[in-house]
């Protein structure tokens, strides 16, 4: 298989007089998957993407060393990335009054903002209001998948049937058995690396070659066995063996660059929606893409109340257009999808389309993170350097709380993401005292001996955590913005306290010296795993979508991204988003052919 470095021609003539079978809003994990499934089933599909098509390889420059870059990876003067203090001391809109020409979310400051400055949105153009929230958005073909962290995990019935397990919240309208075949399809189509562990609460995928653990990580894994806990190599949404059916992606060569910056792989071993899903969908001849197209309304047929297309604005010219379709698929990401539904008011749908329940924007949930632990593996001090960051991730410790036990302080659980060993920049250098030759020796001797991990915990879905439209604020295109009414609760705070204690306990059990613990909980939004604003359910009074992510109110409207999730689980969501979208779009295609939509 020869790797195709030139994508299909994206500047297509878009015929807006035509009625497409389906229009998809958004081109990230969810929109890309919808395009793949529907075009494979022969539907004529139009995809509207608010961002531009970027020459992504030139943006990511995965193999560029810091000394090859004029500013060591920093963006040009005039760019600013928001800091933790700005998110917590101030309230949104965070860019208001900033003297910087461009303001980006905190991810812009992670390993060099020059590589993401054209992928992340400029907060000046995209304000939001309300409670503090670190909202990270990527507007480009492929959305956040261009820079995602690649941890690709499945959910289990501990998540889908969480209420049955512990009494809190609501069960999902599906179980693991319903989704398992679609997780398998996603694994095989996109590639995932990992090791089978046979855990009921973290089901295995159909794995390709795993990444190797470093010596310190193996030590921690062995130590945890005594506690009945598991450390497994990072389950990466990366093809390590290659994919014969995809000519746009290479297998992983373990160059490590994706561990140095916020994601991104210029040979596309790491999954991204354009090369993984959209270009192959274009090769079917059934997909048309229009970038720079900001959807602001799901258009409604005044006679039937059904969706008839999308109203959108060209981001460059600010001109308004309509795209017509028999089915509308919203996949603009959890918060933007809720915004679009709420914006779509009509006499038939006065609270926004699909919102007769009043639940759109509510039950908003995600992951809480921040607390963690750093340790020193003493027997590795002074050992010769090894290429430890030549891999797409370190390790994952799956949830171990509230499975067979009941914690007194909190329900649900958390997992740890971490890594140990040598990396491009020795993380301990700044904290090492001294100067001169001895300082350099100390830094080098210790560089590969550190190991660290941080928790990712489930934030409970609560009706009172929600977003709505701010009647007084608009973005640069005059579209009303979201207003946040959202904060962590006592369950999250107690869970975070437990993360610190459990992290310390695990390092000590493995004989790793704890050099630092961190009990700081990061701002709401920091995990970039927002979920739940249009949840699925069996009851149209308390949910927005049915089990196929189809609107209860409007049967030719589907919302196929994380907004449909009933609870957040503590596992990262993207693989589940894609498995669900695959399942729903197969159902959609079947119903479309039957003429029932």
Ligand X SMILES: Cc1cc2nc3c(=O)[nH]c(=O)nc-3n(C[C@H](O)[C@H](O)[C@H](O)COP(=O)(O)OP(=O)(O)OC[C@H]3O[C@@H](n4cnc5c(N)ncnc54)[C@H](O)[C@@H]3O)c2cc1C
Residues that bind ligand X (CB under 6 A): 25-31, 48-51, 107, 136, 138-139, 143-145, 147-151, 262-263, 293-295, 331-333, 336, 340, 528-529, 561-562, 572-574, 577
State which residue, 417 or 561, has the beta carbon closest to ligand SF4: 417
The interface partner of residue 572, options being ligand X, ligand SF4, none and the CB cut-off 5 to 8 Å by kind, is ligand X
Judge contact between 413 and 544, C-beta under 8 A. Answer: no
Q: Is 123 helix (H, G, I), strand (E, B) or coil?
A: coil
CA dihedral sign of residues 455, 460, 464, 468: positive
State which residue, 149 or 361, has the beta carbon closest to ligand X: 149
Could you say which residues in the range 56-115 bind ligand SF4, by CB under 6 A?
Answer: 62
DSSP string covering 211-265: PPPPHHHHHHHHHHHTTT---EE--BSB-SS--TT-TT-PPP----GGGTTTS--
Judge contact between 188 and 239, C-beta under 8 A. Answer: no
Q: Considering the complex, what minimum distance in angstroms separates the CB of residue 423 from ligand SF4?
A: 13
Q: Which of 270, 340, 353, 531 binds ligand SF4 (CB under 6 A)?
A: 270
d(CA 501, CA 489): 19
Q: Considering the complex, what minimum distance in angstroms separates the CB of residue 257 from ligand SF4?
A: 4
State which residue, 339 or 446, has the beta carbon closest to ligand X: 339
Q: Considering the complex, what minimum distance in angstroms separates the CB of residue 441 from ligand X?
A: 35
The interface partner of residue 254, options being ligand X, ligand SF4, none and the CB cut-off 5 to 8 Å by kind, is ligand SF4
Q: Considering the complex, what minimum distance in angstroms separates the CB of residue 312 from ligand X?
A: 7
Q: Considering the complex, what minimum distance in angstroms separates the CB of residue 208 from ligand SF4?
A: 12
Exposure of 494 by Cβ count < 10 A (0-12 exposed, 13-18 middle, 19+ buried)?
middle
Query: How many residues belong to the site for ligand SF4 (CB under 6 A)?
Result: 15
Decide: is 269 part of the binding site for ligand SF4 (CB under 6 A): yes
Judge contact between 395 and 227, C-beta under 8 A. Answer: no
Decide: is 213 part of the binding site for ligand SF4 (CB under 6 A): no
Short-list 317, 319, 321, 353, CA closest to 46: 321
State which residue, 368 or 528, has the beta carbon closest to ligand X: 528
d(CA 4, CA 246): 9
Could you say which residues in the range 227-246 bind ligand SF4, by CB under 6 A?
Answer: 238
CB 275: neighbour CB atoms within 10 A? Answer: 26
Decide: is 256 part of the binding site for ligand SF4 (CB under 6 A): yes
Q: Which one of 76-84, 195-203, 264-272, 412-420 is the stretch in contact with ligand SF4 (CB under 6 A)?
A: 264-272
Q: Starting from the edge strand earliest in sequence, which strands make up the sheet with 129-130, in order?
A: 129-130, 480-485, 466-474
Peptide bond into 413 cis (omega under 30): no
The interface partner of residue 559, options being ligand X, ligand SF4, none and the CB cut-off 5 to 8 Å by kind, is none
Q: Which CB contacts under 8 angstroms, 24+ apart, belong to 251-258?
A: 252/193, 252/391, 252/392, 254/211, 254/387, 254/390, 254/391, 255/62, 255/63, 255/390, 256/387, 256/389, 256/390, 256/391, 256/424, 257/62, 257/63, 258/62, 258/150, 258/392
Q: Which one of 135-143, 267-275, 288-296, 364-372 is the stretch in contact with ligand SF4 (CB under 6 A)?
A: 267-275
Point out the residue whose Cβ comes nearest to ligand X: 28
d(CA 597, CA 577): 23
The interface partner of residue 267, options being ligand SF4, ligand X, none and the CB cut-off 5 to 8 Å by kind, is ligand SF4
State which residue, 7 or 311, has the beta carbon closest to ligand SF4: 7
**C-alpha separations of 131 from 333, 337, 456, 488, 490 in Å:** 20, 19, 21, 11, 17
Decide: is 254 part of the binding site for ligand SF4 (CB under 6 A): yes
Alpha carbon 267 to chain centroid, angstroms: 20
Judge contact between 555 and 300, C-beta under 8 A. Answer: no
State which residue, 389 or 561, has the beta carbon closest to ligand X: 561
Decide: is 151 part of the binding site for ligand SF4 (CB under 6 A): no
State which residue, 169 or 256, has the beta carbon closest to ligand SF4: 256
CB 281: neighbour CB atoms within 10 A? Answer: 26
Tokens representing residue 574 in the block: 């993207």
The interface partner of residue 62, options being ligand SF4, ligand X, none and the CB cut-off 5 to 8 Å by kind, is ligand SF4
Could you say which residues in the range 388-407 bind ligand SF4, by CB under 6 A?
Answer: 391-392
Q: Considering the complex, what minimum distance in angstroms separates the CB of residue 451 from ligand SF4?
A: 19
Q: Which one of 187-195, 251-259, 473-481, 509-517 is the stretch in contact with ligand SF4 (CB under 6 A)?
A: 251-259
Q: Which one of 256-264, 406-414, 440-448, 501-509 is the stretch in contact with ligand SF4 (CB under 6 A)?
A: 256-264
Three-class SS of 124-144: CCCCCEECCCCCCCECECCHH
Q: Which one of 189-197, 247-255, 522-530, 557-565 is the stretch in contact with ligand SF4 (CB under 6 A)?
A: 247-255
- Which residues contact ligand SF4 by CB under 6 A? 62, 238, 252-258, 265, 267, 269-270, 391-392
């Amino acid at each position: 298989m020869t790797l195709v470095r030139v994508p299909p021609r994206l500047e297509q003539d878009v015929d807006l007089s035509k009625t497409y079978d389906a229009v998809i809003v958004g081109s990230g994990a969810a929109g890309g998957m919808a395009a793949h499934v529907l075009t494979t089933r022969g539907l004529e599909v139009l995809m509207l993407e608010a961002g531009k098509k970027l020459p992504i390889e030139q943006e990511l420059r995965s193999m560029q060393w810091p000394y090859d870059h004029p500013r060591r990876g920093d963006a040009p003067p005039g760019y600013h990335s928001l800091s933790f203090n700005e998110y917590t001391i101030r309230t949104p809109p965070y860019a208001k009054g900033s003297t910087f020409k461009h303001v980006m979310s905190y991810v812009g400051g992670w390993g060099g903002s020059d590589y993401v400055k054209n992928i992340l949105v400029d907060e000046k153009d995209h304000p939001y209001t309300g409670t503090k929230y670190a909202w990270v958005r990527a507007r480009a073909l492929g959305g956040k998948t261009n820079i995602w962290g690649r941890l690709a995990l499945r959910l289990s019935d501990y998540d889908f049937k969480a209420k049955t397990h512990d009494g809190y919240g609501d069960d999902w309208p599906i179980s693991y058995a319903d989704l398992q075949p679609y997780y398998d399809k996603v694994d095989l189509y996109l590639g995932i690396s990992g090791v089978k562990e046979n855990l009921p609460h973290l089901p295995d995928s159909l794995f390709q070659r795993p990444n190797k653990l470093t010596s310190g990580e193996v030590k921690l894994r062995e130590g945890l066995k005594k506690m009945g806990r598991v450390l497994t190599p990072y389950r990466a949404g990366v093809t390590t063996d290659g994919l014969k059916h995809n000519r746009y992606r290479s297998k992983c060569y373990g160059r490590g660059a994706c561990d140095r910056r916020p994601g991104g792989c210029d040979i596309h071993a790491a999954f991204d929606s354009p090369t993984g899903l959209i270009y192959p969908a274009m090769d079917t001849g059934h997909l048309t893409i229009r970038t720079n197209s900001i959807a602001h309304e799901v258009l409604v047929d005044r006679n039937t109340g059904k969706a008839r297309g999308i109203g959108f604005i060209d981001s460059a010219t600010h001109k308004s257009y309509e795209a017509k379709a028999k089915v509308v698929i919203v996949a603009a990401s959890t918060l933007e999808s809720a915004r679009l539904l709420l914006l779509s008011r009509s006499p038939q749908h006065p609270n926004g389309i699909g919102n007769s329940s009043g639940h759109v924007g509510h039950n908003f949930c995600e992951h809480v993170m921040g607390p963690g632990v750093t340790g020193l593996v003493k027997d590795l001090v002074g050992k010769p350097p090894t290429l430890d960051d030549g891999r797409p991730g370190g390790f994952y410790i799956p949830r171990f709380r509230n499975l067979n036990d009941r914690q007194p302080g909190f329900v649900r659980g958390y997992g740890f993401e971490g890594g140990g060993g040598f990396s491009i920049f020795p993380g301990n250098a700044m904290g090492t005292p001294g100067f001169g030759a001895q300082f350099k020796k100390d830094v080098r001797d210790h560089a590969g001996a550190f190991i660290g991990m941080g928790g990712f915990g489930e934030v409970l879905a609560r009706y009172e955590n929600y977003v709505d439209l701010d009647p007084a604020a608009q973005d640069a295109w005059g579209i009303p913005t979201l207003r946040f009414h959202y904060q962590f609760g006592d369950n999250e705070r107690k869970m975070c306290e437990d993360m610190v204690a459990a992290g310390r306990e695990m390092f000590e059990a493995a004989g790793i010296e704890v050099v630092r613990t961190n009990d700081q909980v990061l701002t709401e939004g920091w995990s970039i795993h927002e979920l739940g604003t249009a949840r699925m359910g069996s009851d149209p009074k308390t949910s927005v979508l049915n089990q196929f992510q189809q609107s209860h109110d409007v049967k030719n409207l589907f919302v196929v991204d994380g907004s449909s999730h009933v609870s957040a689980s503590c596992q990262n969501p993207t693989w589940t988003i894609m498995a669900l979208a695959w399942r729903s779009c197969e159902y959609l295609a079947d119903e479309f052919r039957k003429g029932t939509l």
